[in-house]
A and B are shown apart, each in its own frame.
Chain A
Amino acid sequence: MTDQIPSRSEGKSPLGASLLPWIAALAGRVGNFRKDLLAADSWAPAAGLGVELDRALSALEVPPSVPVLVVMLGGTGVGKSELFNALIDRPGASPSSDTVRCHTSQPFLAVHPLDRAHLPSLQGLEPILVEGGVPRGVVLADTPDIDGMIERHHGVTRQVLERADLVLFVTDPDRRANLQVLEELRRWAPRKRWLFVLTKADKYADTIDAIARDFAKRVEEIGFALDRESQFVVASVRPSDAGIERLRQAVLRPGDENRMPLLRQDAFLRQAAHALSAGHLHPFQMEADRLGALADRGRARQEQAYWEALSQPRAADAFARVVKQSAWKEISERSGPFLFPAVWARARMQPLATGWALTRGLRGGLLGVAGALGASALWALRGLSPLRHIAEALGESFRDTLSAVEHDARRALEDAGLDRIGVVGSVKGQGSTGSLAAKAEVPPGLGEAVDGFLKQWTLSDVHPELLGRVEQDVETAGRESARLATSGFGGVVSVFLGNALVAGMVGWVAWRLGKSWWLETDLSTSFFLQAATLVVVSLLPGMLFLAWRLANQVHPRRLRGLLGKHAGPIAGGQLERVRETAAGWFRQGMDIAKSLEEAQRLLSADLGADATWGTSLPARSAQPASHARKA
């Protein structure tokens, strides 16, 4: 994964140089991850996470000239408007009412005249602007209620809240335990920084301390570690109330050009970390596990069917035959210099024979050609028909198993809405395991060409991947049995003796030849005949020995041992790939979350000391489900 800045903020670079490099790198990772997730939007958890990350990234796009937005959140009648007016010291700026509830229906923004041009965008809303009362760099927002009977109000408030840099959670003693407001707080908690305000202290003069403690408990239940710095008890209607003064000190201080970007980077980290919380990533792992179990089951089923099919006598026989064929090829490399030509010829017999028959046919006229074709076909068929037998053993019932596994895999993906997820982004695609493809690189000789043609003709109805697997197994078993036949004490001795015998004969012939050349005598024809015969005969014991050892190795009952653990699945590969993707996303999410947490700690060291920035949920303490206590 490269640490590039995500496409969305590319070119804009809104924070310019003030974007901390380690945060920029993190943003790059988050951006790439988001792109992968959004590409798989048919899967709800991926799409949801993608959107969340998108939202987190948008925090980085706010230019530094935009002032800090401080927003109030609270139920109807808790005294938000009254508090707003008291804070900016403009009675009646946002009308409050003691009879009509759900009174405020529009956001009110208190803004410094010089900040008017840089207001955060609140699309579709028409906030009422109140000039003055706040220092430069800070905008204070009074909002409609969040629990009244007019639902539009809730939407308006949420929209303002989306942009908030700091939230004042406002409540009065009556409303402090209401489910609806506390739920709203819980939903936004991990994404924002907070201050908590309890109003109407004057009305409950005797009990307000106990009430404040009870309220703090509610807030702590959500996961906040509340300190006195971020909790305020106010009486907005009381002139020069100490609580109001303290809150004003905390919130309405001139903005600081250097710190604003930090605040937004913190918001990015916070929101991204929230999106990548364990609860949100959990579905990925669950899905990966589930798919993994399904894939394992499918694979086990295939394996079993495969071995059952191959252990049918006819197929097992045929398998042993082709394995022997391929083992000879392997042995030729291990047979020593003198036995080599014979072993090589033995291994090549199949294609050589077809090739030879064909070349002969080229000169024999029409009938000759027909005869040669027939002969080559017979030769080639001898090698191919065992393959055919194997393929047939892997016949209907095996193919049924395969298609069942394939169906199951597809349906399992459909069930989870994962069927349209390809292999996306970071997870590398796996090449097909077909060994046929690898072989085709060597230009085929005449014999092989005929073999290939015949193979196409005789085996055309065999599943190519299946054939590939059979061939691969044949090759593995051949290699393994060749190794076993030529190694160990017996193997080494037989190779040595076989070679020594031939070497002796060749040496003897060479000596005779040398001697006659030295003595300038002529050798009779019978000598040459005799020499050739002897050399050929001397090849036999070694060959026979090897053949015998090979026959011992390649026994139908021992084949499975030769092959050992098995390779990839033939059917249901998509399941495997999607599992890989889901697991990959889970790992990636966890990785990024860890880095985010680290970054958050670093940044908090800068920000946290100052109460101005409010308190925040400690990283990873977001409650997974409704915190409402149940009986």
Chain B
Amino acid sequence: MKLESFLNATDRLAALVPELLRLLGYREKLPTGWSALLERAGALRRQGGRLALVATLYGPTGAGKSTLFRNLTGIEVPAGDEIRPLSRGCAMAVPDQWDQADGEPALRAVLPGFDLRPLDRPERLRQEDGQGLVWYRSAERLGGESRSQAKADTPGLFLVDVPDFNSLEIANHERAERVLRRAEVVVFVVTGDSYADQKVVEELARCCQVAARLVILITKVASPEKAQLKWADLLNDKLTRTDLPWRAKFQGKREDGRTLEAFLRECPVHAWPFSAHPTLEDLRPVTAGAPTLASLLLGLDAEKVAAEGLLQAGASSAEWVGQLAGRADAARGERQRWRASLDDDLARAGLAVAGHEFPIGRTLEVLMEEARAGQNQVFRWITYPFSRISAWMQGGFQMVTEAIRSAIRKPTPGGELVRLEDAERKSLKRVAEELVDKWRDRWPAWVGSLDSGQCRKACDTLGAIALASPQTNWEEALRLSARDWVEKHPTWAHTLPVVLDLTTVGGLGLFVLDISTTGGLLGSHVVLGSLGAGGLMAGGAGLAAMLARMADNMHFKSVLEDADRAWREQRGREIAEHLRQHLLPGILGDKLKDADRLTSFPVEEMRRLAGELTRKPTHD
């Protein structure tokens, strides 16, 4: 595989991953491997043909990093025991000619994104300064060995001394880690007593994940043998114990398929016995015959190690990118279910708003009107007087009841339709509040930002927007079915209105008869009389209703109810749509858009790209 396509895959991922992280609401720290990949790929791009290796010293405070750096490079950096933590800045030893003014651009290509400044005074490193600042200075020799003796064609090794990762100076930790991400080679410096510190072992695992080469240096021990024993205790006891989580942690795989533990076992280990004035002569590998630390560092094949560094970073991010893809899949399913249940809730809410009571009285009226319209002309002419009187009386009765009602209560202006709208508006408000509560209950995390203030705003916004009137009229729908029924059952359709009219008129007749013969025996007041007539009329309506019920076997009622239901369902959909458009944005804001984006996120592409990261990049 071409290096170019590896870098392209990295670039594409660099664009995709942050967006996915946002969509997933990822809050954890980004893994070092991922940052290292971006860092190293950037460096490789910038460097063009000249490949430079970065090696960092890395270790807890007081381990002797600065002492080692001083001894190796001869650069005066603050070191000692009086103050802990001592180093706060990063110091870098660059090959001889690199600290010249014309070397700077090339230097920036080695550490892109870092702020590079020449180290003029050692005190610089004691000061607190910003992130990404590296003080550089040239060092001709490394541990007494001249750099020029190293392979002539490699641009050389850049050795960095960094602050600690475990002191109370938290800013130090990030400074050190920043360099760690870039560095292909890590010299892990640790005192003999802190090899089993929780924090130290955590960082050791991190180094195993991202470094191309790792060298262990155990300082302040009584003897190299003791150092070996301590290291053996870590490798053979502490890291293998089944009751501790470390074993699993070190079973992760590196780019070449080795486990972190296997890799760690093969790392060269050096020891530096305790002394008031430690010198490089005392620093030696714990296994006899192994190369010294300086020659080990200088002997590295820059090109090979840089490639390995990139690949290692790629491998350790590929795993993470794969996990991200898995999370995206899971989240996608969850979001889809979530959308479905939202739709479900909205539909139900719409129905609840549209579903006012089935108005049987109005239904009967519609039916009578249709039935009358369906009577033949002659018949209508004969019954005309009755129906006139009946209609007049019904009108009067309605007027009286309205009058009584308005004496007690405020009259509602407008007819049935206004009342329907009113009812809808009212229940829409109630339903919206209920919906909001339900969602708050069901997705405390999802709707986490939905506090009471936002709920209020969303509900008020909804309340301010008028609900569009129904596309088809309820009465129209009903009337159509009624007409249908009348056509199918002409006999019934003829009889029903007549029965109603006859009873109404009969009531009036009885009332008149009562007044004229007994002077109002049955009803002493006009009011009572008209009430009586009204009662009779109601009785007539009841009778008609009874007849209608008898007509049930002709599916009269169910036909009408079906029409009503169909209408309600349609209205429910309209209202659900209204809620979707005007309530959801206020409540969910961008979440809906995010959910859609997540659903269409190129997860498969991410998987493919992650796969590319695990294959070896080579120059063409």
Which residues of A approach B to under 8 Å, CB–CB?
A: 75-78, 98-102, 147-151, 172-180, 182, 203-204, 206-207, 210-211, 214, 218, 294, 367, 381, 385, 388-389, 392, 396, 400, 403-404, 407-412, 414-415, 458, 626-631
Q: Is the CB of B226 within 8 A of A415?
A: no
Cα A180 to Cα B83 with chains together (Å): 18
Inter-chain contact A178/B193, CB cutoff 8 Å: no
Report how far A388 CA is from B411 CA in the complex, Å: 13
In the complex, residue of chain A having the shortest beta-carbon distance to the beta carbon of B167: A177
- Alpha-carbon distance A389/B238, docked complex (angstroms): 84
Q: B452 touches which one: A367, A381, A415 (CB < 8 A)?
A: A415
Q: In the complex, A357 Cα to B483 Cα: how many Å?
A: 55
Q: Chain A residues near B61 (CB, 8 Å)?
A: 174, 177-178
Stretch at the interface among B10-18, B197-205, B498-506: B197-205
Instruction: Tell me, rounded to whole Å, the shortest Cβ–Cβ distance linking B88 to chain A.
Output: 9
Can you show 30 pairs from A to B with CB atoms below 8 A apart? A75-B197, A98-B226, A99-B229, A101-B193, A147-B197, A147-B199, A148-B196, A148-B198, A172-B193, A175-B194, A177-B84, A177-B169, A178-B61, A182-B168, A207-B82, A211-B82, A214-B83, A294-B452, A392-B409, A400-B463, A403-B433, A404-B433, A411-B437, A411-B452, A412-B452, A415-B451, A415-B452, A626-B170, A631-B128, A631-B171
Instruction: Indicate if the CB atoms of B408 and A385 lie closer than 8 Å.
Output: yes
Q: Nearest residue in B to A146 (C-beta to C-beta)?
A: B198
CB nearest to B408 among chain A residues: A458
Is B426 at the interface (CB under 8 A from chain A)? yes
A174 touches B191 (CB 8 A): yes
| Interface pair B170/A367, CB less than 8 Å apart | no
C-alpha spacing A178/B173, complex, angstroms? 12
Inter-subunit contact A177/B85 (CB<8 Å): yes
Residue contact A629 to B170, C-beta cutoff 8 Å: yes
Q: Give the dominant DSSP class at A's interface.
A: helix
Q: Is B440 an interface residue (CB 8 A)?
A: yes
Bound CA–CA A150/B168 (angstroms)? 21
- Contact check, B451 vs A411: say whether CB atoms are below 8 A apart: yes
Contact A203 B274 (CB under 8 A): yes
Task: State whether A174 touches B168 (Cβ < 8 A).
Answer: no
Tell me whether B410 is interfacial, beta carbon within 8 Å: yes
A119 to chain B, nearest CB (A): 28
Instruction: Please classify how large the interface on chain B is, using the bins under 10, 10 to 19, 20 to 34, 35 or more.
Output: 35 or more
- A77–B198 touching, CB < 8 Å: no
CA gap between A412 and B409 in the complex, in Å: 37
Question: Do B276 and A174 have beta carbons less than 8 Å apart?
Answer: no
Q: A149-B196, A178-B60, A206-B276 are in contact. Are A411 and B455 (CB under 8 A)?
A: yes
Alpha-carbon distance A403/B460, docked complex (angstroms): 12
Question: Using Cβ atoms and an 8 Å threshold, which residues of chain B touch A388?
Answer: 408-409
A177–B82 CB distance below 8 A? no
Tell me the minimal C-beta distance from A498 to chain B in angstroms.
37
Q: Judging by beta carbons under 8 Å apart, are A149 and B201 in contact? A: yes
Given contacts A182-B168, A385-B408, contact A204 B194 (CB under 8 A): no
Query: Which of B168, B196, B456 contacts A102, CB < 8 Å?
Result: B196
Chain B 228-242, CB-CB to A under 8 Å as 1, else 0, gives 011001000110000
A-B pairs with lowest CB-CB distance, top 4: A631-B171, A411-B452, A77-B193, A177-B84
- A210-B82, A214-B84, A407-B459 known; 13 other A-B pairs, CB under 8 Å? A100-B230, A101-B193, A175-B194, A178-B197, A180-B198, A207-B82, A214-B82, A389-B410, A458-B408, A628-B169, A629-B169, A630-B170, A631-B129
For residue B66, give the distance in angstroms from its CB to the closest CB of chain A: 14
Interface residue from A151, A204, A218, A414 paired with B198 (Cβ < 8 Å):
A151
Q: Give CA–CA (A21, B453) in the complex, Å.
A: 50
The complex places the Cα of A407 from the Cα of B191 at a distance, in Å, of 62
- Nearest CB on B from A310, distance (A): 15
B95: Cβ under 8 A from any A Cβ: no
Q: Are A174 and B62 in contact (CB under 8 A)?
A: yes
Residues of B within 8 A of A (CB): 60-62, 80-85, 128-131, 166-171, 191, 193-199, 201, 220, 222, 226, 229-230, 233, 237-238, 244, 246, 274, 276, 408-410, 426, 429, 433, 437, 440, 451-453, 455-456, 459-460, 463, 524
In the bound complex, residues from chain A placing their C-beta under 8 Å from that of B129 are: 631
Closest A residue to B61 by CB, please name it. Answer: A177
Chain B residue at minimal CB-CB distance from A101: B196
Chain B residue at smallest Cβ distance from A461: B409
Closest residue of chain A to B197, judged by CB? A147
B197 neighbours in A (Cβ, 8 Å):
75-76, 101, 147-149, 178, 180
Contacts of B233 in A (CB 8 A): 99-101
Least CB distance, A575 to chain B, in whole angstroms: 10
B331–chain A nearest beta-carbon distance, Å: 25
Contact between chains at A630 and B408 (CB < 8 Å): no
Residues of A contacting B168 with CB < 8 Å? 177-179, 182, 218, 627-629
Nearest CB of B to A50, in Å: 24
Q: In the complex, which residues of chain A have a beta carbon less than 8 angstroms from the beta carbon of B195?
A: 101
Of A178, A203, A294, A408, the most chain B CB neighbours within 10 A belong to: A178
- A76 and B84 contacting across the interface, CB-CB below 8 Å: no
Contact B169 A400 (CB under 8 A): no
Complex alpha-carbon distance, A173 and B62, angstroms: 9
Q: Is the CB of A149 within 8 A of B246?
A: yes
Give Cα distance in the complex from A206 to B80, angstroms: 12
> Could you say which residues of chain A place their CB within 8 Å of the CB of B198?
147-149, 151, 180
Q: Is the CB of A404 within 8 A of B426?
A: no
Chain A residues whose CB sits within 8 angstroms of the CB of B62 once the complex forms: 173-175, 177
CB distance from A467 to the nearest CB of B (A): 16
* Contacting residues, chain B, for A76 (C-beta < 8 A): 193-194, 196-197
Please, which residues of chain B bring their CB within 8 A of the CB of A75?
A: 197
Give bound CA distance, A192 to B289, whole Å.
Answer: 54
Q: Complex: how many Å from CA A214 to CA B81?
A: 10
CA distance A460 to B56 in the complex (A): 83
Interface centre among B196, B230, B410, B459 (most CB of A within 10 A): B196
A277 to B282 Cα, complex, angstroms: 53
Interface-centre pick from A77, A98, A177 (highest chain B CB count, 10 A): A177
**B194 CB contact (under 8 Å) in A173, A174, A458:** A174
Is B459 a contact of A179 with CB atoms below 8 Å? no
Contacts of A99 in B (CB 8 A): 226, 229-230, 233
Q: Shortest CB–CB separation between residue A463 and chain B, in angstroms?
A: 15
Task: Give the residues in chain A near B460, CB-CB below 8 Å.
Answer: 404
Q: Would you give the shortest CB distance from B443 to chain A, in whole angstroms? A: 13
Q: Across the interface, do B222 and A98 meet the contact criterion of CB distance under 8 Å?
A: yes
Closest to A294 in B: B452
Give which listed residue, B166, B237, B451, B459, contacts A178 with CB less than 8 A: B166
A243 to B168, CA, bound (A): 27
CB of A58, distance to nearest CB on chain B (Å): 30
CA distance A147 to B61 in the complex (A): 14
**Which residues of B lie under 8 Å from residue A206 when comparing CB positions?**
276
Instruction: Knowing A148-B198, A179-B168, A367-B524 are in contact, say whether A207-B410 is a contact too (CB < 8 A).
Output: no
Chain A hits for B451, CB < 8 A: 411-412, 415
Task: Across the interface, name the chain B residue whose C-beta is closest to A176.
Answer: B84
CA distance A148 to B166 in the complex (A): 13
Q: B410 touching A392 by the CB < 8 A rule?
A: yes
Inter-chain contact A179/B167, CB cutoff 8 Å: yes
- Chain B residues in 8 Å Cβ range of A211: 81-82
Shortest Cβ distance from residue B303 to the other chain A in the assembled complex, whole angstroms: 36
Residue picked from B81, B191, B237, B463, most chain A C-beta under 10 Å? B81
Q: Which residues of chain A come closer than 8 Å to B80, judged between CB atoms?
A: 207
> Which residues of chain A are near B244, meaning CB under 8 Å?
149-150
- Which residue on B lies nearest to A75, using beta carbons? B197
| A385→B406 CA distance, assembly (Å) | 11
What is the CB-to-nearest-CB distance from A196 to chain B, in angstroms, rounded to a whole number? 15
A627–B170 CA distance with the chains assembled, in angstroms: 10
A474 to chain B, nearest CB (A): 20
Separation of A388 and B407 alpha carbons in the complex (Å): 11
A216 to chain B, nearest CB (A): 13
Expressed in whole angstroms, the minimum distance between the Cβ of B230 and any Cβ of chain A is 6
Give the distance in Å from the alpha carbon of A98 to the alpha carbon of B274 in the complex. 13
Query: With A101-B193, A180-B166, A207-B81 known to touch, is A407 a contact of B199 (CB < 8 Å)?
Result: no
* A365–chain B nearest beta-carbon distance, Å: 12
